[in-house]
A and B are shown apart, each in its own frame.
Chain A
């Protein structure tokens, strides 16, 4: 049966499903956000914007579509957040103007509404940048208008709009160079596509199952971020509801007794009844699960029905949490002059502590601590003056803000890497003033070159280095300089670029994903190539970076 018009009930469905769909995928949209400011909040902003619109629609009892589009438009205007949110609110303002007072929408009227939305949205911009949400909206509306000339089937028009948006989204990297360089599509455009797909699902009365699936690498990053978050939320140990962080891999190809057919949606649904913080991904061969639960045994039992269990891991988060809380509290015995460093990884914490750092704030590349976290750490130290080592370029600003509002004198040594932080500590003198310390510690930063080795999570070209997904990257003082599929080779090449005639000491810290053996291989190869270097190897235990190297 051909659907000829959208009534108020249908329209409510459309808005509800669209809100749900962008909400579920907000994190993914955030991860694409590089333009105009790479702050990673597009998905969150668009979600909040349309949620505000959906709330207004839900509160309006009218049976006229025209009244509901008005509520949607007003709600989105009031709740608009961020650039993409403001643009969406304008798209739907134009949508409302075209449908004002209408009882229902036919195919032509629906297409017109989208076209008018685009016209309104383009008016409020001085120089439209192509390759953004505006382009996606425009092409989508155009396809909808074309379709409406051929048919009076509402479904077909909405499908054409979704297809148009999809097609246009794919071209965004060709229109906007910054997207191409990073290898992503426009985040706002992707967000809009999710909204339009939600509309179509609402019309069809069904749910697409094609939710975005992260791959194993992205999943690791998400797990990291989630753990950082639970550590930082500072909840009391007894408040942890699901105490065991459980991870399993299921080899779906293996034969097991009473083997059940595997369906990811059902799999996920069942697991979500066993705990929270669930992440589950799968391909044809392997399913990978991360979950916080009280019943790790049940997770194993359930997973075993679908194949052989590969890697399994359980951590007792209550014990972990107590350790973290206690280690923070131990340092409570007040010092006169505190040094506070941002770091992650047990080994690196110990290195900093051995150099006299009093308090460590968890964080680094994947989870930047907030200004508040830094202020809290300063307060808890109980000191009369303090020095903060941010150890990451992204945290320097937050640290400076913390220093401004602190009640005690706080100095920031703008260390951008762990290596710089460790070097700076060598010049710390608890008997000098804050200013003198900042001056002395900062002076030494130039003597150290910092290198970081990590794995690429997508193909891209940066600084003329061609980067391949899963290759190892050598990053020297923040710039990607080396790409190599072999970890040892990448590290050796990177160190080669860090050396000059004054280089004497090379410190290698191996992380969670590397080991001492590999670090020693790096040392052996470097000793063969270069004379007169001294090596130090430490177990850093840091996430993300396989090796952190400093050359002095």
Chain B
């Protein structure tokens, strides 16, 4: 699956790996997000933090027309307001997809897969 964008000069095809990298980088640059998590928590281990090369295991992209829906699986630091950190993730993912790839996002679903206790 990939996102296709029609332009007057032809078709642009953006693979899901590219989108996953943009989404993952945008999500993890948010304050409070301590890592990306795998969407298959049971298979890949519950508390595994994904490295950059594996971001696509924590991002699900569904596309229709010129719009996409993204699911992002993240781990948040303990002691932060989860709803607000998640909202920040939604905003920055949306902004970066539009800004870097010119893709309109219909929805960004944030799944908080784990909370990591940071030593006090």
Contacts and interface: CB of A to CB of B under 8 A. Distances in A.
B120 interface: yes
A82 B33 contact: no
Q: Which secondary structure characterizes the binding site on chain A?
A: helix
A93 B81 CA distance: 12
Interface stretch (A125-133, A229-237, A447-455): A125-133
Contacts of B119: 123
A439 to B, nearest CB: 13
A82 B92 contact: no
Contacts of A81: 84
Given A36-B30, A36-B92, A127-B29, A86 B35 contact: no
Nearest to B76: A124
Interface string A86-117: 11011001000100000000000000000000
A80 interface: yes
Given A86-B81, A97-B120, A124 B92 contact: no
Interface in B65-116: 77, 79-81, 84-85, 88, 91-92, 95, 104
A87 B31 contact: yes
Contact of A85 (B8, B28, B84): B84
B34 interface: yes
Contact of B79 (A78, A85, A90): A90
A83 interface: yes
Contacts of B118: 120, 123-124
Residue from A36, A124, A125, A397 with most neighbouring chain B CB atoms (10 Å): A124
B81 A123 contact: no
Interface in A435-462: 446
Contact of B81 (A36, A80, A97, A446): A80
Contact of A120 (B35, B91, B120): B120
Contacts of A93: 79
Contact of A83 (B8, B31, B34): B31
Given A39-B91, A126-B35, A77 B79 contact: yes
Residue from A85, A97, A123, A126 with most neighbouring chain B CB atoms (10 Å): A126
Contacts of B91: 37, 39
B95 A126 contact: no
B58 interface: no
Interface string B19-59: 00000000011111111000000000000000000000000
A85 B30 CA distance: 12
A86 B29 contact: no
A87 B77 CA distance: 12
A125 B81 contact: no
A125 B32 contact: yes
A255 B28 CA distance: 62
A80 B31 CA distance: 12
Contacts of B34: 124-126
Size band of the interface chain B makes with A: 20 to 34
A125 B116 CA distance: 12
A445 to B, nearest CB: 11
B84 A125 contact: no
B80 A124 contact: yes
Nearest to B36: A126
Contact of A127 (B28, B84, B85, B88): B28
A86 B88 contact: yes
Nearest to B88: A83
A36 B84 contact: no
Interface string A31-52: 0000011010000000000000
Given A78-B81, A89-B81, A37 B92 contact: yes
A123 B117 CA distance: 10
Nearest to A125: B31
B36 to A, nearest CB: 9
Residue from B8, B34, B88 with most neighbouring chain A CB atoms (10 Å): B88
B86 to A, nearest CB: 10
A389 to B, nearest CB: 18
Contact of B28 (A77, A78, A86, A126): A126
B47 to A, nearest CB: 15
A82 B80 contact: no
Contacts of B30: 36, 83
Nearest to A77: B81
Residue from A77, A90, A120, A129 with most neighbouring chain B CB atoms (10 Å): A90
A85 B31 CA distance: 10
Contacts of A126: 28-29, 33-35
Contacts of A77: 79-81
Interface of A: 36-37, 39, 77-78, 80-83, 85-87, 89-90, 93, 97, 120, 123-127, 129, 397, 446
16 contacts: A36-B30, A37-B92, A37-B95, A77-B80, A78-B81, A80-B84, A81-B84, A82-B84, A83-B88, A90-B32, A90-B80, A120-B118, A124-B32, A124-B118, A125-B31, A126-B28
Given A90-B31, A123-B119, 15 more contacts: A36-B92, A37-B91, A77-B79, A77-B80, A80-B81, A85-B84, A86-B32, A86-B81, A97-B120, A123-B77, A124-B31, A124-B34, A125-B32, A126-B34, A446-B8
